Structure formats: C-alpha cells, structure tokens
Structure 1
Amino acid sequence: MSGVLSSVDARTKLVGQNRLELLLFHLGGSQHFAINVFKVQEVMRMPRLTRIPDRHPVVRGVTHLRGQTVPVVDLRHAIQMGPLKLNEEDATIIVTEYNMTVQAFLVGGVDRIVNMNWSEILPPPGGAGRQHYLTAITRIDDRIVEIIDVEKVLAEIAPYNSILSADAYDTELLEKVRGKDILIVDDSHVAIQQMRQVLEPMGLNIIEAHNGLEAYQLLMHWKEEGRDVNSNLVMIITDAEMPEMDGYMLTTEIRRDSELKETFIILHTSLSGNFNKAMVEKVGCNGFLSKFAPEAMAKEVQRLMREKMKMPPRPE
C-alpha cells in the first residue's frame, strides 16, 4: 500500500502544473511515438502468447500477467502502418490500463521517459493517413514525436455501445435543463462522439472544445460578452490529458476565477481510479468518471445537474 500511495503522491505533484510524463517508443522505424506514463503499468519483453480464434487482426494473442488475461495489440498494425516485423522473442510490450481494462501494446522498442509541459504538446496537423490516429505531436531533441490516440485504437478493436434505454434518463430533471449549455472538452474525436451519444437525449446544447486552452479561451470570451456563464452552463466535462492545457490546469484556472469558480466540473478520464481520487481532490473537481461507462456518465451528470438546480436526489 505504501508503494501505491508514494506513486500517487509522485504523480499528483504534476497536477495543476500543466505537466506530463511521456514514454517514448518506436514501431520498427525511425519515427518516435509516445503515450502518457500515467497509463503505463510496466514495460517488459514479449511473454509467451496464446493464439485465440476469431481474434481481431491487430491482436497478436493473449498472455497471462499476475492472474489477468491480457490481450497483446500490435500497435503498428492498429494504426494502419502494417504488422510489426520482429522476432517475438526480441519484441517489447507496454502494459497499460485504459478505461478500467488492462492491455499490452507490442512495440519495436522503448526509448525513455521525458517530463514536459502540456504547452509543448500541440494538436496534430490536419490530413489523412496515420494522423487519423494521433491526438497530439511534440518536438523532442529536434525530432517530431507523435502521441497516439489509444482510445481510438481500442474502440476499433472492441467498439463501445453508448446508446442507453429511456430508463437511464430523468425526465423531471431534463424538462428543467432542456436547451441549457454543457461544455465537453476532449482531444479524442472518439471520446467526444461517445459523450454526445449519452448527452444528446438529455436535450442539452452540447458545445465542444478540443483541449483545455480552447475551453478556457471560450469561457473568457463568454465573460467578455457579458454572458451569465453560471446560469447558462450546467457543467463542464473535461478529459485529463490534452494538448496545450490539460484538464487539471483548466480546472485550476476556473477555480481561481471569481466569476467561474462555482462551475460544476467532471473529470472524464481513462486514468486509473487511485490516481483520479487524488487528482480530483487536489484540483477541486465535483466528480470524476472513468472512460467509457455510458450508464455511469448519465447517472453522474444528472446527479450533479439536480444538485445545481437545487432539486432533491432522484428517487431510486
């Protein structure tokens, strides 16, 4: 337990400072890629794999780690660069946790961990091809590093069903909030689409921002226009990891603003629960949601809207 707590403490020191740690790796070529260290459980040599019938083409097989069955995804193949051509005994896997699931990514090799500021992480340029699988880019040692949209990769392997039954929605509440604004902030188009499928039946006016800086600038623009932000905006649902300004820094800046500090904010992230609890407490979010759990999202969003509207809890 002390190891877990020290790890949480070490990682949460970055929260509110707009910083992150990236694990750099390659996929059998000269181009470098990265994922956030928050998501990484360990890096190891490729273990023995069990082939499974009818597996997705990018899944090499499964392995057993600490009592769990973990799928091993060929990340090069998953982002449409073709299968990784390596002897499996020489290959490396990165074991990660996303959306409360554990999976491993087969890569050509791991370089190192770098500590950066989110202001150094930029949205990817427009275009087709591999950029379709990027959430951001950055420059390290005069080389472009591409940050992969792992949520998109996983959604393509195991698509989510975000359509909820009518019973998931609180009709009494939704009559009162219909047409009000809700701001969703995420750099992943997959995540935004998933949120929209849950929120659109609520009759809310959904406004998108694709990173924390874009969301913050929008809020400042609304203030300059003289809009009553707290009255019109029911809440903000923000991702944690985004280019230019992360969700923690966005929340910190909102809490520092005398006109915006009472805004309801949900942290919506694929990070593990232990880290989330520490981070939510530190930056002052009203709650957090793990990606992607549509039932939990509908329930938590409506619970907080009832609280904002000063309505009693929904009867069970």
Structure 2
Amino acid sequence: MSGILDSVNQRTQLVGQNRLELLLFKLSSRQRFGINVFKVREVLQCPELTSIPKLNPYVRGVAHIRGQTISVIDLSMATGDEPIENLQTAFIIIAEYNRSVQGFLVSSVERIINTNWDAILPPPKGTGKASYLTAVTEVEDELIEILDVEKILNEISPLNTEVSSEITDNINVGDNTEKLIFIADDSSVARNQVKKALSTLGMKMELAKNGLEALERLKEIAAETGDVTDTVGLLVSDIEMPEMDGYTLTAEIKNTPELKKLKVVLHTSLSGVFNQAMVTKVGADDFIAKFHPDELTAAVQKWLLKTPDIIE
C-alpha cells in the first residue's frame, strides 16, 4: 500500500484531458467508493487514534502523522452507516479539501483505476436530498459511488459563507448589474456556498450541476444574442465534475467563438502546483482555492470590472 501513490506526479498529464484516476475503497459493506487521486496525500494503515472530548461523533479521534495532528473521520458513520469496527485492519486516506487536511477512515483500500470524466455520471434521480453521492461510475460491471465529501465536511464543521464588511462596503460590479453570474459545481453544498457568498454582489445567478450542463446552457444563452457576455458577466466553475471537468469546460469555452470572451474563474478544493499551469493551459482567467468567501467575492468583482478581451 505504501507505493500506491508513488507515481502520482506522473498522473498530472491526465489533467485537462477530461481524465482522472480514482482510488477505490470500501467502508462497512461490499459497496466500493472512489476518491480522486489528486485529493489524496497518503494512504496508510490506521495508526493509534487519540480520543478528544467533545469531538463530532463522526470523528473517531486524531492521529499524529509526520508532525501534524489530523482529525480522522469515519466515512461510514458520516454517511449514515455502521462505524468501522476493526481499526487494526482499517486504513486512513489522508486527503486535502478546502485548504485543510483530513484523515478518512475506511475499512479497506483496493486499487487505482484510470477513467474519463465523461464516464463519471450524476447520481441516479430519486436519491433525494439526504444522499451523500456526488457522482457514480461503472467499473467491470460494478457501480462505484463517489461521495460528496464537501457535504460531509460541512456537516461536521460548517464553513463560514459570510462576506466581511470590508468587501461588502466596497461592492462595485460596473455595468454588470443586469448580467448574471453562472456557477458550475457538482456538490449542492458547494453551489449554495458560492451562491450565498456572491449574493452580496447583487447580481442574478444561474447554477449548473456539471461542466457539460454548463456548456450546453451557455451555448443556449449565447444563441439568443450571438455573444454570451451580453447576458453572463462571469463563470465560476469547479474543476471536478461529472461528464465534463472544469478544465475541459474552460477549454471548450475559449475555443467557441460566441463564448470565448467569457471570464472564467476556476474554484476548486483541488490543490497542487500543477493547477496554475493548467489554468494557463486551458485559458482560465483565475484560480481560487475553496473556500474563502472574501477571496472569491473579491476575485469575481475584479474580473467583472475587467474589459472583455478583444479577440479576432
């Protein structure tokens, strides 16, 4: 298991090609789950956990790993299932989300699979608002479930979505007051966080659940006027989304005449030095790490005030 992520740096070539790799794992049942390898720092056998009073019940304890104290969340309990019982045979997936590092307790870790984002599909209809799924895919005739980790983390430790008075007292969107901000994110929690933060700008907003849905809708809007920027002031997009990722979405926008003047801000919990290179490669205008309401609002306001590029 120690070598499962040894070649992670070589996997950066998949980014921007609508491809990803998933680390497969199990919780308390036979069902397999997947997590994007780029979220994962390390996989290790569950070490001794230290209990701390008044922790959230889904947090089984803290682990001291490489000089850092990390909270260990039982993903089985957090999704409404039975707790993982045998910690001696369990594993911890050390992952980074929303500028913080967490440990996810799982019963077993299996292998890494290579797939396409267009093979990652939204959850089946009827799963309901209580579902913790953000996507599903099929591997060797078996359904692999991808958890909405942002929803889980927000239930354990809700993020602040309030924008400070320092930002709200100086709101200025120029001539964009009648335009809308378009938001694309597969996590319902993340979409609502972005929407709430950006509501301080006083602009209309439209939301999409993935990159393909966003692209199709933006083309519909552009068809009405010939240029999407007549209606849309800016796009804020996640990177990891079913059917079409944010990098591919951005590249499609910049290569489509009626869309290419649209400013694109990528807003994601992915981290790593490869991100800035990919932002440049696909033509995105900015990259903001999730989730800081002041930084996001300030960045959106800045790009709304930028004069659209004149592109022949």
Give the structure-1-normalised TM-score: 0.91
**Quick one: distance in 2 between partners of 1:196 and 1:296?**
14
Superposition map of 1:75-90 within 5 A: 75-86=75-86, 88-90=87-89
Any stretches of 5+ residues in structure 2 without a counterpart? 1-5
Correspondence for 1:313: none
RMSD over equivalenced CA pairs, Å? 2.0
Q: 1:238 to 1:46 in 2, by over 3 A?
A: same
Please give the secondary structure, in 2, of the residue aligned with 1:303: helix
Q: Cα deviation per residue 1:91-147 (whole Å; 9 max; x = unaligned)? A: 111110111111110001011100101111110012347971010001101011100
Aligned counterpart, 1:70: 70
Counterpart of 1:3 in structure 2 is: none
**1:188-243 Cα deviation digits (max 9, x unpaired):** 00001100111112111100011000011112212333353122211100000110
Is the Cα–Cα contact under 8 Å of residues 216 and 250 in structure 1 kept in the other structure? Answer: yes
Please give the per-residue CA displacement for 1:227-273, whole angstroms capped at 9, x wherever unaligned: 53122211100000110001010011111112221210011000114
Which secondary structure does the structure 1 equivalent of 2:251 belong to?
helix
| Closer, same or farther: CA 75–263 of 1 in aligned 2, 3 Å | same
What residue identity is the alignment partner of 1:285? Answer: A
Q: Is the 8 A contact 2:20 2:114 kept in 1?
A: yes
Q: Using the alignment, how far apart are the partners of 1:260 and 1:85 within structure 2?
A: 52
Could you tell me the percent identity over the aligned residues? 49
What residue is the counterpart of 1:93 in the other structure?
92
1:162-311 counterparts in 2 under 5 A? 162-169=161-168, 171=170, 173-174=172-173, 176-308=175-307
User: What is the CA–CA distance in structure 2 between the aligned matches of 1:203 and 1:100, rounded to whole Å?
Assistant: 27
Residue 42 of structure 1: how far off its partner (Å)? 0.9
Q: 1:129 to 1:72 in 2, by over 3 A?
A: farther
Count of residues in Structure 1 that have an aligned counterpart in Structure 2: 304
> Contact conserved, 1:124 with 1:131, CA < 8 A, in 2?
no
1:254/1:261 contact within 8 Å kept: yes
Please state whether the residue corresponding to 2:244 is helix, strand or coil. coil
Quick one: which amino acid aligns to residue 60 of structure 1?
Answer: R
C-alpha contact (below 8 Å) 2:174/2:305 kept by paired residues: no
| 1:234–1:308 contact (8 Å) kept in structure 2 | no
Q: 1:144–1:59: structure 2 CA closer, same or farther, 3 Å change rule? A: same
Answering whether residue 34 of structure 2 is matched by residue 34 of structure 1, we say: yes
Deviation at residue 9 of structure 1 after TM alignment: 6.0
Residues 79 and 130 in structure 1, CA contact (< 8 A), matched pair in contact too: no
Shift of 1:301: 0.9
Of the structure 1 ranges 10-19 and 51-60, higher mean CA displacement relative to structure 2 is found in 10-19
**Secondary structure of 1:250's aligned partner:** helix
CA distance in 1, matches of 2:255, 2:169: 32
Asked whether the equivalents of residues 15 and 249 of structure 1 are also in contact (C-alpha less than 8 Å), the reply is no
Is the CA contact (8 Å cut-off) linking 2:173 and 2:305 kept in structure 1? Answer: no
Q: For the structure 1 residues 231 and 170, does the alpha-carbon distance in structure 2 shift closer, same or farther, using more than 3 Å as the test?
A: farther
Q: Report the secondary structure of 1:308's partner residue.
A: coil
* Structure number with higher helix proportion: 1
Which residue in the other structure is 2:101 paired with? 102
The residue matched to 2:306 in structure 1 has which SS?
helix
Aligned position for 2:10: 10
SS of equivalent residue, structure 2 residue 273: helix
Distance 1:276 1:98 in 2: 14
TM-score by length of 2: 0.92
Query: How far 1:309 moved relative to its partner?
Result: 7.2
Q: Aligned pair 1:120/2:119, yes or no? A: yes
> Which region of structure 1 is more displaced relative to structure 2, 221-230 or 145-154?
221-230
The residue type equivalent to 1:112 in the other structure is: R
Describe the superposition over 1:161-211 as per-residue Cα deviations: whole angstroms up to 9, x where unpaired. Answer: 111233313646236322311100000000011001111121111000110
- Secondary structure class of the residue paired with 1:258: coil
Paired AA for residue 231 in structure 1:
D
Aligned residue type for 2:63? T
Q: 1:308 to 1:132 in 2, by over 3 A?
A: farther
1:140 matched to which residue of 2?
A: 139
1:138–1:145 Cα contact (<8 Å) kept: yes
Task: For structure 1, list consecutive stretches of 5 or more residues without a partner in the other structure.
Answer: 1-5, 311-316
Structure 1 residue 283: Cα displacement? 1.2
Amino acid at match of 1:215: A
**Helix, strand or coil for the counterpart of 2:152?**
helix
1:151 aligned residue: 150
Report if the CA contact (8 A) 1:179-1:203 is conserved.
Answer: no
**Structure 2 residue matching 1:83: 3-state secondary structure:** coil
**Shift in alpha-carbon separation, 1:134–1:308, aligned structure 2, 3 A:** farther
